[in-house]
Amino acid sequence: MLDAADSRVSIYQPEQPGLVFPEIPQFASYEEERTYRKQHLVAAVRAFALHGFDYGFAGHLTVRDPERPELYWTNPMCVHFSQVRMSNLVLADHAGNVVEGTHAINRAGFVLHSAVHEAHPDIIAMCHAHTTYGTAWCATGRPLDMISQDAACFYDDHVVIGASAGAVAVERESGHSVASYFTRARAALHQNHGLLTASRHSIDDAAFWFIALERCCQVQLLVEASGVKPQMVSEKSAEYSRKHVGNDFIGWLHFQTLYNQIAAQQPDMFE
Ligand SMILES: [Zn+2]
């Protein structure tokens, strides 16, 4: 959940007053918080477009409604990530009914996301897309090796899901199976399928760590392709990195860089 901005939760927050630095907003109403979540969901979807994460209609991002947490906002089906905007977002319930909006939603997305959201009321946001490097690495059925500080952000915090590997996740049992892995981990490599991230903090956090996870898969594939045996980050260092630069506030903070760029360059996202 978004906390008050007055408590210093990260070493990255400046102690010197008066400097420009992103702050988690506080909201006077559900309406304000809803608008914020929707804007950041749109920016997350557009960030996925900028990273080339689109693949036809595949890929879905969700964030809970702050007032009605049993409902979630998601991107419309068959609308390119780059064309998602405030006015075409869809509000859906756990049963897949569209409560607000004119577009259909992706059934596979609904099954996976609603099962995770339903099983874990504290999970606020989720991301999934069929990315090149994520899909490639997920074919190995292996977790990430701790070969960089960036990979260490996922130390002991990501899982490989072998269940229903490679089968399109349109059945509810498949969704429930995937949901069982999100008890603690916030990222999953779904074997023969692709990447999933979940956040108990914000859509910003889920989106940034999805981008980071895809990049970790790319880096690991590059290292393996080189044939050079990589040096591993020690467990102690990996744990330290995850704690300080791999937490949900840092995910949110990283994403503000993308949010500000997209909001400035793509003002139609607010339409
Ligand atoms: Zn998928």
Instruction: Output the CA 57–ligand 1 centroid distance in Å.
Output: 10
pLDDT, averaged in runs of 10, over the chain (271 residues): 57 87 94 98 98 96 97 97 98 92 86 89 96 97 96 96 66 77 90 95 98 98 97 96 92 98 98 98
The pLDDT assigned to 113 comes to 85
Instruction: Output the CA 196–ligand 1 centroid distance in Å.
Output: 9
The pLDDT assigned to 4 comes to 44
User: What are 245-259's pLDDT values in tens digits?
Assistant: 999 999 999 999 999
The pLDDT assigned to 82 comes to 98
Closest residue by Cα to residue 125 from 72, 59, 58, 181: 72
The pLDDT assigned to 172 comes to 65
The pLDDT assigned to 7 comes to 61
Q: Show the domains of the chain with their CATH numbers.
A: 30-270 (3.40.225.10)
CA distance 108 to 193: 12
The pLDDT assigned to 166 comes to 59
CA distance 72 to 77: 15
DSSP state string for 87-127: GG-EEEETTS-EEE-SS---HHHHHHHHHHHHH-TT--EEE
Instruction: Output the CA 249–ligand 1 centroid distance in Å.
Output: 27
Instruction: Output the CA 109–ligand 1 centroid distance in Å.
Output: 7
The pLDDT assigned to 185 comes to 87
Instruction: Output the CA 139–ligand 1 centroid distance in Å.
Output: 14
Instruction: Output the CA 145–ligand 1 centroid distance in Å.
Output: 23
Instruction: Output the CA 94–ligand 1 centroid distance in Å.
Output: 18
The pLDDT assigned to 1 comes to 44
